Structure 1
Amino acid sequence: MIRQAKGKTPRRPPKKPSSNQKDPVGVYCRVRPLGVEDNECCIEVISSSTIQLHAPEGFKTNRNGEYKEMQYSFKKVFGVSVSQIELFEHVAKPLVDDLIRGKNGLLFTYGVTGSGKTFTMTGSPGQGGLLPRSLDMIFKSIGPYQAKRYVFKTDDKNGLEIQNEVDALLERQRRENNLPVSKPTSSRQKLDPEIADMIKPEEAFEGDGVDEDSSYSVFVSYIEIYNNYIYDLLEETQEDAIKPKWNGGGTPVRPNTEFIPPQSKILREDQTHNMYVAGCMEVEVKSAEEAFQVFWRGQKKRKVANTCLNRESSRSHSVLIIKLAQAPLDADGDNILQDKNQVTVSQLCLVDLAGSERTGRTGAEGTRIREAGNINQSLLNLRTCIEILRENQMCGTNRMVPYRDSKVTHLFKNYFDGEGKVRMVVCVNPKADDYEETLLVMRFAEMTQEVEVARPVDRPICGFTPGRRHRNQAFKEELSRKLEERGGPSDRDLPTVLSHMVHSLPPLPSCELTDPHDDITLPRLIEALQNRYRIRQMMIDEYNQAANRMKSMLQELDNSIISKDNFIHEQNGKLTEKDKAIQLNKAEIERLEKKTKMQEHKIDILQKTTKIYEDDKRSLQHELGTREQRLQREQSEKRRMEQRMHGVVTDTQHKWEKECDRRVNAMQLEMQNKLWVKDEKLKQLKAIVTESKPSGRPDPPPRQTQPKRPSREERLPAKRSASPSPIPTTTPVRPLHRRSRSAGGEKWVDHKPSSSLDLGTVLQPVIPNSIQVSTPSEKALSKCDRYVLTHQQVASDGEIETKLIKGEVIKTRGGGQSVQFTDIETLKQQLTTVPGRKRKSSEGKPANGASTDGAWTDTETRCSVAMEMRAGSKMGPGYEHHGITKRRKP
């Protein structure tokens, strides 16, 4: 196969359109009727230009898992009840009118497999599609003005040449002689039953803008793009290579040569930078039936296959190119003007794109998978080109459009660059199974209609006066009428009369003389010759009379022409004045056009400024939304922080309430202890006063011995009994304070960090002969022998726990000091709720009236907490550890 090498053709700058006006790509939507086996519909036509898509059950389209309805707008929407003729009238008829006026057009169908693209383009018997109706409208419009066959001739370079009548006649004779006998040479051949009666006579259209002073000719070519290769469907060898030949017997004879596959064609660029298929066969047709017969011959060669979604699925993109050649007549209006520069060629491309499909749904295997991949890739390239065109037009960028990545986009490059109108018919199937693919088609269609294509300019008008064909025909008719009025034959009857007169001459008698004395033959011959001479003179007279009448008529015509020339001269003077007025109007129009361009330039600047402001507005709105979200997050964080701080405050308040209760209870306990000590002293004093001897002599002083330390049981108050306890008879002796064994010259370094808290308890550790520091130093350590560190931490029950870490200061060999820790003592507070009771003077009086202030029986009732004095282990001199223990009532 022959492939076109990429990068061989040098890049040329795109041809600038001569018109600044642009039109958007016309996108239409057609909804196929729902099948019998399909129950759920996902498309609803809500207006003549809008459709709505409903997500089927089980298909979630947003993050919340809800169904979402989407609307898409088009230039026009055709529902299931719209006929083919109505679709053609809105979509293809304007393109055919532009084709007759010399402008190009591109129309293609797009959609998923099985959405009705081929039916929309081709149709069926009785319901012709866009293609047969376009052909019928073309020939209905230019039928009386068609040139003879082979007057226009292709030059294989996407151009046309003009031949004169003689060369065209010789070409017809040569081609008719080369045609095989089995093939008919006329266009009145019998149509295929499959394509017969595609269009009803009452549904025919005629186009506007046909120039009566021009001759037209139509050329048709039909290609397909299969696996990104271009094949000619009208090429004869493609069909003849596989046809068997018959030897007259019952079995076909295969050709001796092997099967030659069709050769792919390449794309080239002509002198006007338009793309065309090199070597493609172009057939000149003279009627709509002949053109559609040629199309149907190529349609049978198109590659189709059976899939799970479509019984005859198109496996290639088909393109029918209708080329219309138009040339003006000469000044007399008789023949075509032999000037190639005056030939106008316009073409209309009707494209039936293959449908996008998913191999999982179609069940494709092997070759079908490769075909589907190439189809999807070409459609993706088309979508990419449309996206870049839209971006360049809307954002002002200058990105290169990748037309060369696909044969489809490369072939139609000129249309998107401003060589004609572009229209697309989006075919959709409303069944629920195609919902996901339909969404992609809708997004592509919505993006395509935002692309603008430059409007083509009108073709220049020939410089001859209009109405030449009509004037020439009128002159011939007037000449015939005047000849008939004068009694002579008309220009059409004169040859007939002359031929009749020649055939009416009497025949000559026999001139054979057998007898020299024959007097009959010669006189008879003389008489016949005289009669023929007389008839000849009559014919001459009749011819002269006819010539004289013709001369007089011509003289009258000359006079009338002179008068008409005078009239034309007058009209030319008026036309000159009109031309001057037209020139003034043109100058005014140019001034207004300049003013319009200036206003358009200002409008463009304002639009760009508006776009910039809109972009700033969108960015500011986005930033505002971001800041609002951030503010909301900060407010929510603030609320959470407030709640957390409120909880912390509540916990702290509860903790301090507990601490206050504990301190109040401790103060109450301290006051009760002081009161108890006071009561004990008063009791002892009472006992000393009341216990005097009867003789009045004092007892000798007791022996000064070391008082015995009372045990814990003795120091605790006795249990309450029914009878009061006896009053002690001995005088209580106050126990002496026991000094520490280390009361010598030891000094302590009391290291209390500045972060230590004063717990406010009654009993505090006291270290005499100490140096209190917040940070230990070498100077302080050199003056002392012992070291103690006060460390506080929070216990597991939430109370503060104090640890006294003790050690000895040892001098080192280097002259420094080091501390060796020897003991750790822990101090911990505990809080209990002690039911306190105030002492009343009226309670506990004995029956005999004695005072009961010092009685031990009420001690347990008044205070349920006992004190325990315990010597600290391994403490320094003069140091005692006072702990508080708690006891409950039994």
Structure 2
Amino acid sequence: MELFEDVAKPLVDDLIHGKNGLLFTYGVTGSGKTYTMTGSAGQGGLLPRSLDMIFNSIGPFQAKRFVFKPDDKNGMEVQNQVDALLERQKRDSQQTVPRTPVTRQRLDPEFADMIRPDEACRADGVDEDSSYSVFVSYIEIYNNYIYDLLEDTPADPLKAKWNSGGTPLRSNTEFIPPQSKILREDQNHNMYVAGCTEVEVKSTDEAFDVFWKGQKKRRIANTQLNRESSRSHSVFVIKLAQAPLDADGDNVLQDKNQVAVSQLCLVDLAGSERTSRTRAEGNRLREAGNINQSLMTLRTCIEVLRENQMCGTNKMVPYRDSKVTHFFKNYFDGEGKVRMVVCVNPKADDYEETLLVMRFAEMTQEVEVARPVDRPICGFTPGRRQRNQAFKDELTRRLEERGGPVDGEIPAALTQLLQSLPPLPPVEISDPSDDQTLPRLIEVLERRHKIRQNVKEEYDKTANMLKARLQEMDGSIMSKENYIHEQRGKLSEKDKLIQDQRVEIERLEKNSKMLEYKIDILQKTTNIYEEDKRTLQHELESREHRLQREVSDKKRMEARMQGMVQDAKHQWEKECERRVNAKQLEMQNKLWVKDEKLKQLKAIVTECKVERPEALTPRPPEKPQRPSREKDRVPAKRSHSPSPVPTGAPVRAHHRRSHSAGNERWVDHKPVTNVDLDTVLQPNLPNAIKVSTPSEKALSKCDKYVLTHQEVASDGEIQTKLIKGEVFKTRGGGQAVQFTDIETLKQENPTAPSRKRRSSETHGAQGDENAEGGWTDVENRCSVAVEMRAGSNLGPGYQHHGYQK
């Protein structure tokens, strides 16, 4: 009772006044959520107490059955009295079994008298000029699917059980499993379950009986932690439809826009559980996973709402990740109040899970949901029902004083006449020779016509009697007309004053609305300008940053281009210098060849002069043997005195290195970054294993190792070093190299200043006659040398421009 007074009673009071509400229980499995919602005998839970408060408040103002009718779109329609009466007769005709009185419809005696009379409560401020009707529905969310617990499961006649003799085994047939429902959104953007059964109830007992009918179909199972563990989330929806009475205060106003529909959802969430404790398997394991997933989604949604409200963010709340959160999306968005009851089990085994539940409850206290907007109230004068009731009481009293019918006789007579109307027989004609349907129908219609004539006569009799009584009352009323006329004159003046004031108020309201509209427009315009200003500032800053980056990139590009220009200029200068030097060397070689020819011709002429006179025919001079290639030609050193004609080019014996001519195998390690140079001598390693990176496999097959290394000398030229060594096997089974020698291959420019100076000094010392002979001097001609520093172990041989040397 204390919990109901603090938590559920404000929600029921809002329901009666046209506002929505949501109440759900949350906790670990076995903590008492279902018991908190339903209760026990003598200790009613939140659900029966809420129903009792609703019917205690609106009991005298309930509309008759089928006056309000659901439109299957989460709304209500209003039917007139005739249509409602036909609906009631149709339902009564369909019920073949007589109805049991409401007080004897209890399905479970243990829930009898759940609420004591002293604990009954009612809401204050109930609108007496409205009619109310209560509709209930009961659904469950099982494995993220929605099922209607009040739906009558149809029987499948094709699945009847038969015995071996061909006769049915039992009278009832197999039931078709229920179909899942889907969520839809109505025109007011509220979520509802499409095709859900909504039952109109008129009392607390009838509503609780409907609840218990659906409770019997709810899925429960026995687990290690709970004997009757809920395996689904159940939602009991109480929908209250209310509409104002007409101006006479007798019937419900036939205007769908004036119908206010509010609902209260009582949710019994399934408890979170750990499979390590419940030892669930198969279907129980899948159910536990879906339950924990839906509860985690609920927690995530509330966390995102809390973050959006406290931090001012606009993150999207993941309502659609679970049917539970998707169904209650409108409540979290401000369509009603939300209350949560946290159930805690004091067992020490549930300490960790209970701690998580309490942290979640603490977090939910910081989430605020906007209050629902009050619904507009019809503008009729209040107190219409009381005035009509007072008029009927006064009329009945006067009729009793004058000997007329007492109160209740006319309604009882009319009710008796209406109930005496025979029901219409079936009018379907399946055979052209059918001569029974039409006579039966004619007979029933004649009987109904006679009853109608009786009702009309009774009505005319009562009307005439009432008219006579009214004529008698006219005399007493005439004396009061003058007073009423005077009062009407005063009322007309007051009405005129009130009308003027209303016109002034309407004018002021229009001006206020116009000013508010202008303020809104100005505010929106200001916001747009501010947004454009921020956008332009951001764009300006981005363009400034981009301009700065472009300027810095341009500077870097200019510096890079200048460096590239300097490098290209330096390279071209070196290339031009090299080409000039090569051309000069080529011209010198040509000039030297011409000098040689002249020298040979001079020698021939000199030889012819010194021959003996008795020689009749001079001996032809021996033709000098020219080398095959001018580049391979090595001139001999020329003396200052004339020398005889050379008989052939000097031949230098081949030098053979004993160590490299053996059976040793070499590992030729030459990195891929090396540059091929045009030196006169090139290393040659026959049958060598060439590698670009150190290889243990290659070292295991060879005895010698040579590494080709290049570096830049002090004069800017690239020189190649051959670092040689011997390969030894280590005790650990590996290979080790001991370097023993270094050879250097170097390329020099023959037009260097030091060499030119040496050539000029040599030419100055020899004089004019020997100047020509200086071109044949080997020491002066050979300005390019190969420097080789050999050690104890001579290395590989060399090739001279492609020929073995």
Find the aligned partners of 1:246 and 1:212 in 2 and give their Cα distance. Answer: 59
* Structure 1 residues 107-132: Cα deviation after superposition (integer angstroms, max 9, x where no partner): 00101111111111110111000000
Does the aligned pair in 2 maintain the 1:97–1:209 contact within 8 Å? no
What residue in structure 1 maps to residue 404 of structure 2?
489
**Offset at residue 209 of structure 1 (A):** 2.3
Name the CA shift for 1:91/1:494 in 2 (closer, same or farther; >3 Å).
closer
Question: Does residue 395 of the first structure (1) align with residue 315 of the second (2)?
Answer: no
Describe the superposition over 1:160-212 as per-residue Cα deviations: whole angstroms up to 9, x where unpaired: 11111111111111112112426648676345213211111111011112111
TM-score by length of 1: 0.49
Partner of 2:472 in structure 1? 552
Query: What does residue range 771-810 of structure 1 map to in structure 2 within 5 Å?
Result: none
SS across alignment from 1:462? coil
Q: Which residue is 2:126 aligned to?
A: 210
Deviates more, 1:572-581 or 1:186-195: 572-581
Distance 1:483 1:181, change over 3 A: closer
Verify the 8 A CA contact 2:144 2:323 in the aligned structure 1.
yes
SS in 2 for 1:92: helix
Q: Which residue of 2 aligns with 1:296?
A: 212
Which structure is richer in relative contact order (CA contacts within 8 A, separation 6 or more)? Answer: 1
- Structure 2: gaps spanning 5 or more residues: 415-459, 524-785, 788-805
2:301 matched to 1:385? yes
SS of 1:453's partner is coil
CA contact (8 A) 2:135 2:239 kept: yes
Does residue 90 (structure 1) correspond to residue 6 (structure 2)? The answer is yes
Q: Please tell me whether residue 260 in structure 1 is matched to residue 176 in structure 2.
A: yes
1:10-159, aligned counterparts within 5 Å? 85-159=1-75
Match of 2:79?
163
Q: CA deviation at 1:156?
A: 1.0
Q: 2:224 aligns with which of 302, 308, 316?
A: 308
What letter corresponds to residue 114 of structure 1 in structure 2? G
Distance 1:205 1:542 in 2: 42
Q: Secondary structure at the match of 1:218?
A: strand
The one-letter code of the counterpart of 1:118 is: T
* Cα separation, partners in 2 of 1:187 and 1:405, compared to 1, 3 Å: farther
Aligned partner of 2:195 in structure 1 is 279
Matched residue SS, 2:109: coil
1:666 paired residue number: none
The answer to whether the aligner puts 1:237 opposite 2:156 as a matched pair is no
8 Å contact kept, 2:153–2:177? no
Is contact 1:488-1:546 (8 Å) kept? no
Give deviations 1:716-750, integer Å, cap 9, x for gaps: xxxxxxxxxxxxxxxxxxxxxxxxxxxxxxxxxxx
What is the Cα deviation at residue 494 of structure 1?
Answer: 9.1
Cα deviations by residue, 1:264-314 (Å, 9 ceiling, x for unpaired)? 000001111110000100000010000000000000111111112111111
Task: Call closer, same or farther: CA 1:567–1:477 in 2, change over 3 Å.
Answer: farther
Counterparts of residues 690-701 of structure 1 (less than 5 Å)? none
Query: Offset of 1:252 from its aligned partner?
Result: 8.5
How big is the shift at 1:362? 1.6
CA distance in structure 1 between the aligned counterparts of 2:252 and 2:372, rounded to whole angstroms: 26
The 5 A counterparts of 1:434-513 are 434-485=350-401, 487-489=402-404, 492=407
2:243 partner SS: strand
Asked if the contact 2:29/2:270 (under 8 Å) is kept, the reply is: yes
- Among 398, 405, 417, the residue aligned to 2:333: 417
CA contact (8 A) 2:246 2:252 kept: yes
Distance in 2 separating the partners of 1:155 and 1:583: 40
1:479, distance to aligned residue in structure 2 (A): 2.3
Label 1:366 to 1:287 Cα distance change in 2 as closer, same or farther (>3 A): same
- Contact 1:105 1:420 survives alignment (8 Å): yes
Q: Distance in 2 between matches of 1:493 and 1:363?
A: 67
Amino acid at match of 2:68: F
Change (3 A) 1:563 1:332: farther
Matches within 5 A, 1:749-768: none
CA shift in 2, pair 1:150/1:559, >3 Å: farther
RMSD after superposition: 4.2
Shift of 1:329: 0.7
SS at match of 2:369: strand
- Aligned equivalents of 1:467, 1:246: Cα separation in 2: 66
Deviations 1:630-659 (A, max 9, x none): xxxxxxxxxxxxxxxxxxxxxxxxxxxxxx
Cα gap change, 1:394 to 1:149, in 2 (>3 Å): same
Check conservation: 1:242, 1:259, Cα contact below 8 A: no
Q: What amino acid is the match of 1:204?
A: A
Structure 1 equivalent of residue 589 of structure 2? none
AA in 1 matched with 2:404: P
Cα deviation 1:68-122 (Å, max 9, x = unaligned):
xxxxxxxxxxxxxxxxx11101111111111010100000010111111111111
Contact 2:155 2:176 (8 Å CA) reproduced: no
CA separation of 1:404 and 1:185: change in aligned 2, threshold 3 A: farther
| Distance change >3 Å, CA 572–CA 229, structure 1 → 2 | farther
Amino acid in the other structure paired with 1:398: N
Change in CA separation of 1:543 and 1:150 when aligned onto 2, cut-off 3 Å: closer
CA deviations on 1:487-512 (whole Å, 9 max, x unpaired) are 4425749979x99xxxxxxxxxxxxx
**Letter of the aligned partner of 2:348 in structure 1?**
A
Aligned mate of 1:433, from 325, 328, 349? 349
Contact 1:224–1:232 under 8 Å retained in 2: yes
Percent identical pairs in the alignment equals 72
CA distance in structure 1 between the partners assigned to 2:215 and 2:59 by the alignment: 25
Contact 1:192–1:293 (8 Å) recurs in 2: no
Q: Distance in 2 between matches of 1:551 and 1:260?
A: 68
SS of the residue 1:319 aligns to: strand
Higher helix fraction: Structure 1 or Structure 2?
Answer: 2
Q: CA deviation at 1:580?
A: 7.6
Q: Is the 8 A contact 2:23 2:338 kept in 1?
A: yes
| TM-score between both structures, scaled by the size of structure 2 | 0.53
Distance 1:175 1:585, change over 3 A: same
Q: Of the candidates 282, 288, 296, which is equivalent to residue 372 of structure 1?
A: 288
| Pairing of 1:370-769 with structure 2 (within 5 A) | 370-485=286-401, 487-489=402-404, 492=407, 547-554=467-474, 556-557=476-477, 563=483, 567=487, 570=490
1:295–1:572 CA distance, 2 compared to 1 (3 A): farther
> How far apart in 2 are the matches of 1:543 and 1:410?
59
CA distance in structure 2 between the partners assigned to 1:553 and 1:190 by the alignment: 53
Match of 1:199 among 111, 115, 126: 115
Shift of 1:422: 0.6
CA contact (8 A) 1:241 1:260 kept: no
Number of equivalenced pairs: 476
Higher Cα radius of gyration? 1
Deviations 1:505-531 (A, max 9, x none): xxxxxxxxxxxxxxxxxxxxxxxxxxx
Residue in structure 1 matching 2:140, options 220, 224, 232: 224
Measured in 1, the distance between the counterparts of 2:481 and 2:267 equals 53
User: What's the secondary structure of 1:107's corresponding residue?
Assistant: strand
Q: Give unpaired runs (5+ residues) of structure 1.
A: 1-84, 500-539, 602-813, 816-890
Letter in 2 for 1:551: Q
SS state of the match for residue 378, structure 2? coil
| Map of 1:175 onto structure 2 | 91
Q: Deviations over 1:741-767 (max 9, x none)?
A: xxxxxxxxxxxxxxxxxxxxxxxxxxx
Quick one: which of 242, 263, 267 aligns to 1:351?
267
Q: 1:394 and 1:554, CA in 2 relative to 1: closer, same or farther beyond 3 A?
A: farther
State the distance in 2 between where 1:561 and 1:102 align. Answer: 43
